[in-house]
Amino acid sequence: MQKFDAVVVGGGPGGYACAIRLSQNGLRTALVEEGELGGTCLNRGCIPTKALLHAADIYHTATHGGPFGIDARGVTFDYARILARKDAVVRQLGGGIAFLEQNYGVTVFRSRAVLEARDLVALDSGERLSCGSLVVATGSRPAPLPIPGAELPGVVDSTGLLERTVCPRRIVIVGGGVAGVEFATFFCRLGVGVTLVERLDRVLPSMDREVSRFVADELTRCGVELVLGAGVESIAPGLEVRYTAKDGAAGSAGGDVVLLAAGRVPNTGGIGLETIGVELDAGGYVKTDGACRTSVPGVYAVGDITGKMHLAHVATAQGTMAADHIAGKPCRQLDLARVPSCVYCSPEASMVGLTEEQARAAGRVTGTGVFSLSGNGMSLLMGQPRGFVKLVFDRDTEELLGFHMVGPRAAELAAGAAAVMTCGGTIGDLGGTVHPHPTVSEAVMEAAHVCRGNSVHVSKDLQAHGAGERDG
């Protein structure tokens, strides 16, 4: 039996970062991972999908260069080479993680782990690891859809879709959340026929309504057939997705592949959590406090299995915080209300904090400031003037409550808004920060000016209502 100060089970963004930070804190650390280091994010999620989306963006730009005076004729894409580059990026990053674990002295076990006690982890190799502290970071997996026909060949989840080596001619996507919207964006920009079926009345239901409406319009402009407010009843042979609308009308859509993108479930079963007494909620997620401690002393949980936010950057932040807490170091608990969420559609969408509806429900006296990217020089010269920045603020205190953006570089700009909100900043702080010109970031500053009614790039009548135009 090998003895460690800490054992981390799961090598995704939360687990591998936690293991490194534990070692940095002077603790003898083991990391157990039965699959690939980097977890879902690196191998089957964030990185491979964004690699695909970037390739699709390049292809779309090359085939739509006319307005810029660029005539690139006969542009084609090679799907196999797109996949090969995606795989190369994943391998490089995975190799980097392996190097860092070795560099910091973390002992990595490539094995399945079962928790036998609060301080004892059994590996399928027969070896046992004892530990002072235990961190569980086993992640999540695509949620299965209990509908007839889900088992048919050609019906896949996101993992299965990434493993396919042939570009479909037509695809039906079930689910209008982040994964569904991103895959719809990727395929439609390659010219693939796409139908997206969502049971709710809008895509990206967790985002600001104006943002989700804008994204839906852009998907339609790209050629995606949106079927909203429709529940999937079955998938018939021949990959015909049959659905029923809220008014009872029946419909169907067919393709040569069907993607089920209906959320994720935690990997908490069969690893011994119940054996050692870790409390789970009704959805199977591990209950944790603000320091990621479970109901069992000395046992922590980080990442998707906590059910807080299914985001890689949240998992990493939780992992490093838990490692500092274990080491007895001062650590600030993670404020999930200040964490950016991003969707890599075209154009990108991002948010931090509260939507307008949420702020009002919380009893805040809210105001908004909106700046259209049609008035932003960088967006215009890039040929991407469609989109907007929307800020939600407290009219009494001017506290910045929410940041919402759809447009180029929206994901990158969310971090700045998050920093302002984390520091308790106001729209005055945001608007008073001089932004470089020409940049898309200027639109954030202008939206703050609109909040106060003093933007020099928005007409008087629009600012009188505290909001500019929403689109380009």
Q: Where do the structural domains in the chain lie, given as residue ranges?
A: 2-140+265-336, 155-262, 347-463
56-63's contacts with Cβ under 8 Å and 24+ in sequence apart are: 56/185, 56/186, 56/187, 56/189, 56/190, 57/189, 57/346, 59/189, 59/190, 60/189, 60/346
Domain 347-463 has CATH 3.30.390.30: yes
At a CB cut-off of 8 Å and minimum separation 6, what does 152 contact? 235, 237, 239, 258
- Are the folds of 2-140+265-336 and 155-262 the same? yes
At a CB cut-off of 8 Å and minimum separation 6, what does 424 contact? 399
Report d(CA 138, CA 8) in Å as an integer: 9
Report d(CA 306, CA 330) in Å as an integer: 22
Which residue numbers are catalytic? 437
We find that the CATH architecture of domain 155-262 is: 3-Layer(bba) Sandwich (3.50)
Report d(CA 136, CA 293) in Å as an integer: 10
Report d(CA 123, CA 127) in Å as an integer: 5
Q: What is the largest CA-CA distance in the chain?
A: 74
Report d(CA 199, CA 452) in Å as an integer: 39
pLDDT tens string, the chain, 472 residues long: the values are: 899 999 999 999 999 999 999 999 999 999 999 999 999 999 999 999 999 999 999 999 999 999 999 998 899 999 999 999 999 999 999 999 999 999 999 999 999 999 999 999 999 989 999 999 999 999 999 999 999 999 999 999 999 999 999 999 999 999 999 999 999 999 999 999 999 999 999 999 999 999 999 999 999 999 999 999 999 999 999 999 999 998 899 999 999 999 999 889 999 999 999 999 999 999 999 999 999 999 999 999 999 999 999 999 999 999 999 999 999 999 888 999 999 999 999 999 999 999 999 999 999 999 999 999 999 999 999 999 999 999 999 999 999 999 999 999 999 999 999 999 999 999 999 999 999 999 999 999 999 999 999 999 988 878 766 554 444 4
Task: Please count the CA atoms within 13 angstroms of the CA of 348 that sit on its side-chain side.
Answer: 19
Report d(CA 436, CA 445) in Å as an integer: 10
* CATH class of segment(s) 2-140+265-336: alpha beta
